[in-house]
Structure 1
C-alpha cells in the first residue's frame, strides 16, 4: 500500500507540524473527542490507538485518562518514536505498550476504547477496510467506544469536488504550496481512497458498531463516535 506522506522518511519527524496545515479541523477532531471522553466515557481502563504515530491521541487522552493502559499501534517504528519523543517533551507519562504492526495483526485482550483517526482512507480496497473494521470489533468490548475519523465522500461527485476546492484554499492559507496541494490532490483516488459517510456507517454496523453521532465535519473529513452493541 502506497503512502504519499512517506512516514518512514525523515520527513515523518515534521509530521506534527505539517498535519495541521493539511487537515484544517485537526485540532477539533481531538479536542471534541476529549470532551466526549470526559462526559461519557467514565470507566475506561484500556485504550488501543490505531495509527498512534505522532502521539496526538496519546497526548490528548492521557490528560483525561491518566490511569488507563494504552496500546499504541502503528506499522511505522519511526512514527512511534516520534510519539515517544512528543510525550517526553510534554512531560506526560502513562502505562503505554508500543506495538510496531498493522492493527489487524495485533493480538490484545478486548479494550474499552479504540481510536482510529485518519487511517481508513489509506486502505485502498473494500476488503482492507473491512479487515480493519472487523479487527476493531474483535478487539473492542461490548459497550466500548470507538472514535473514527477519515476522508469520506464519493470521488467525482459534485459536492465532493466542491469541498476539495474549498479545502485547497484553506491549505494554501495555512502555508501549503500549490505544488504540495497538487500532489495531495493527485493522491486522492490513488493512495487515499475514501468511501461515503453512509458506507462507513453501514460497514461498521455489520460488525456490531452503532453510530451515536458525527461530532466533527469539515470539508470531506468526518469524525464520528460509535459504541459496540454486540
Structure 2
C-alpha cells in the first residue's frame, strides 16, 4: 500500500507537511505533553521512528533524554540515523529494524510515541498487538502519545472529511496527480472509528485517555500505562 523503502519514503519528509495540515504543530503538542511528565533524564520509545522527526523535535532541548526507535523500513531508519548525526546526538539514539513486538530491551521506557503509524496496520489483531507491545515495554503510569487517522470508509462523515482534505491539498498547491495518488492510498488504509481505537487502547492496558489533537481524519491521544 505504501512503500517506505521506495520513492514514497525518499520524499516523505517533503510531502507530509503539505499532505497533513498542522503536521509540525502535532509534534509541538506531543512535546508539551512529554515535558509535563518526564524528568530531565528519560528513555523514550519511538514506534515508527520513520525519518526521525521525533528525534529532531524532542532531542536537542533535552540532552539527557535517550531514544530507541523502531521501524520496519531500512530506508527510513537510515534517514533517521542521518538526522540524529546531523544534530550531533547519535550517541543517544538506538535504532532497530522491525516491529515493536520484537524489540528486546531489559529496562522499561519512561514514555512512548506512536505517531502516524496505527492507521497502516490491519485491524486483524495487528493493531492490538502493536499497542500491547508498547504497553509491555513501558513503566507503570508512563505516557503513550498516539496519533492516527480514524473513520469508517464509505460513511457520510468520512466522505465529507475526505472531500475537504482533498480541497485543502489543492489549495496548498499540490498537483492533481499527487492529490489523486494520496487520496487513493487513504482509501485503502485500514482505518477504524475513533471508538475502536479507544477500545484497543483499553484492551492493551492503557487508561486515562485524553484526546488532544484533531485535523480532518487525524486524531491524537495521550494515554497512561495502567
TM-score higher than 0.5 here?
yes
**Cα root mean square deviation, aligned:** 1.8
Question: In the TM superposition, what is the alpha-carbon distance from 1:187 to its structure 2 partner?
Answer: 2.1
Count matched residues.
225
Equivalent of 1:17 in 1, 14, 18: 14
Correspondent of 1:57 among 54, 57, 61 = 54
**How far apart are 1:92 and its partner, in Å?**
4.6
In the alignment, structure 1 residue 195 sits paired with structure 2 residue 218: no
Partner of 2:212: 215
Report the Cα offset of residue 93 of structure 1.
4.7
Give the drift of 1:91.
4.2
For residues 86 and 153 of structure 1, the distance between their equivalents in structure 2, rounded to whole angstroms, comes to: 33
Corresponding position: 1:102 with 2:99: yes
TM-score (norm 1): 0.90
Contact 2:161–2:217, Cα closer than 8 Å, also in 1: yes
Moved more, 12-21 or 181-190: 181-190
Tell me what 1:129 maps to. 127
- Structure 2 counterpart SS, 1:143: coil
Q: Tell me: CA distance 1:11–1:187, structure 2 relative to 1, closer, same or farther (3 Å).
A: closer
Quote the offset at 1:211 in angstroms.
Answer: 3.8
Per the alignment, residue 164 of structure 1 pairs with 162
* Offset from partner CA, 1:132-159 (integer Å, 9 cap, x none): 1111111111111101000011111111
The equivalent of 1:115 in structure 2 is 113
When normalised by structure 2's length, the TM-score is 0.92
What is the aligned partner in structure 1 of residue 144 from structure 2? 146
Does the aligned pair in 1 maintain the 2:68–2:93 contact within 8 Å? yes
Partner in structure 2 of residue 84 of structure 1: 81
Unaligned runs of 5+ in 2: none
**Among residues 35, 40, 65, which one is paired with 2:37 in the alignment?**
40
